[in-house]
Homo-oligomer: A and B are copies of this chain.
């Protein structure tokens, strides 16, 4: 990376995204309307929520019958048993729980609160929850292919969510899906203590881009779900966001 400046631009709000919508078409329209000329070296960061909506990842909790396990856990964390059932159905295991806190390993390996299940509608008339995309890396690749056809340029695509962290307060943007860029990049190797082997430090490139874009997406719930990042460079081959998940053997907390 020899970059010395970066620009991030939020697309003006997309129309309200509904299940079955062609998100690539909506994004291409938004990009044209904003008079943005995308380059292959640009990164389009898209909020997870609009991808999930376009993919129709809703569950009506009124149709959910909680298991005994879900009921027990719901009592411990003081959450709706039907919601806990949905969370467990999206999870491999419960990592930590406490009143109001339910941290799980999502079926895709992400360690996150509530398996990413957005339950802001539970308790309202609709009572639907929204799950993460089924395969966010595949979603990113599909959107990228669609944009390439429509725009004649192949920007990298990141699908971003915000995760909490164990030892630091506040959530930060992270990449849950990616296409067209390396999600991890090597930093300059440092000689180890004995001055011989080179130790390579990897930077979570896609997570840093997601965090940067999150500054613009900010408080807007659906207002600014897409941000174009220009000025980055990379030479490594593209990898998926799944690569960002630590494997069990390198996870210090398993």
Contacts and interface: CB of A to CB of B under 8 A. Distances in A.
B203 A162 contact: yes
Contacts of A172: 172, 203-204, 207-208, 211
Interface stretch (A3-11, A64-72, A130-138, A144-152): A3-11
B5 A6 contact: no
Interface string A242-254: 0111100011110
A253 B169 contact: no
A40 interface: no
A108 interface: no
A8 B7 CA distance: 6
Contact of A123 (B119, B192, B251): B192
A4 B218 CA distance: 10
A89 B195 CA distance: 23
Interface residues of A, number: 73
A120 interface: yes
B243 A207 contact: no
A165 B195 CA distance: 26
Interface in A176-221: 183-184, 187-188, 190-196, 201-205, 207-209, 211-212, 214-216, 218-219, 221
Interface stretch (A19-27, A47-55, A95-103): A95-103
A57 to B, nearest CB: 18
Contacts of A209: 215
Interface of A: 1, 3-10, 12, 79-80, 83, 96, 98, 101, 103, 110-111, 119-120, 122-124, 162, 165-174, 183-184, 187-188, 190-196, 201-205, 207-209, 211-212, 214-216, 218-219, 221, 224, 231-232, 243-246, 250-253
